[in-house]
Amino acid sequence: MTASHDTGYKLLFSNPLIVRDLIQGFIDDPWLQKLDFSTLEPVKGHYVSEDLRDRADDVVWRVKSGEEWLYLYLLIEFQSRSDRFMALRMMVYVGLLYQDLIRNKQLGPHGLLPPVLPIVLYNGERRWHAPVSLAELLPKPPAFLAPLQAQMRYLLIDEGAIPAETLARLPQNLVAAIFKLEQPQSPEAVQALVTELEAATRSDEYAAVRRIVAIWIRTALIRNRKYPILLPELDDLQELRIMLSQRIEQWAEGYLAAGRMEGRMEGEIGVLSRLLSRRFGPLPTWAATRLNAATEQALAEWTDAVLDAASLTDVLGPPPADH
């Protein structure tokens, strides 16, 4: 994630109610569902390894399991890009967490290390494609070596891969609402989501949640890929809902104008693609990519040039160096 987005997610998941909704809403496991989430406690996630190099986990929590204080540690890492070596990173984080627990004499019953639930929360536009286990990063070893290799898997929650119907079935889940707001939304849909969140967090237990969610939503709306909206600094969900209702008409007009512009651009790209194909044959991948990324001015210039050009490169310029 970008630094600002990473910080925003750390702010959100610094609240136990949001961590609870992540586990209950997006991990389908009966044992986890029965945990007493009122016992959630934050754990410092910044460690120094034995060679004195710093390592920082994004968010670490512990939650009571059963009658004894046998802690299940929740290690949550935030990502906006697929990382091929994520399984190795998570193994290092878990190892440093265990070293810290040993150093501070915070072991479980009978001196055992507690179990860890490693979660990678990913919100990139493309789908996650990195291995989720360390075994996938290693060659297949001989039979004797196989059981001696390090083992590590993590649980991936890929926001963009979660079906809209799944999110719709979680109307009171704070994390589901956050995931919806991460996607491009119409002004009306955003207003409905903010209203839903504000209504779901009116009880006193959500006092801290209302503030951090309002701060995060304001930032998310400014970053909205479809059509951003500028809002004054707010740290209250009710104020945010009222402010949106006051500006919804102006925002909607700008959103529709942006949609019309996008539709017209898509139409112009389609026409120019057909003209180029008829003159120079099927378009190579690099040409289609360049057309789809074109500005309005570039499309106009290429359309003017297509009739007199002797080759595709006379219109679009030379292909990238790697083609």
Given the structure tokens 């910080």, which residue do they identify? 7
Whether the full predicted model's pTM is greater than 0.75, yes or no, is no
Give yes or no for a contact between 51 and 37, defined as CB atoms under 8 angstroms apart.
Answer: no
Q: Could you tell me the residue ranges of all domains in the chain?
A: 3-128+149-166, 256-316
Cα four-point dihedral sign 142, 143, 144, 145? positive
Give the model's pLDDT for residue 256.
44
Q: Of 2-6, 54-58, 231-235, which range is least confident?
A: 2-6
> CB neighbours of 129 closer than 8 A, spacing ≥ 6?
82
pLDDT value at position 74?
Answer: 86
Using CA atoms, how far residue 85 sits from 18, 82, 136, 138, in Å, is 27, 9, 10, 11
> pLDDT, tens digit, for every residue of 131-165?
999 999 999 889 899 889 889 999 999 998 998 88
pLDDT at 102 over 60: yes
71 near 64, Cβ under 8 Å? yes
Residue 17, pLDDT score: 92
Q: Helices 187-200 and 174-182: crossing angle, nearest 10°? A: 160
pLDDT of residue 255: 46
Q: Phi and psi at residue 122, in whole multiples of 5°?
A: -115, 130
Range 181-189 average pLDDT? 73
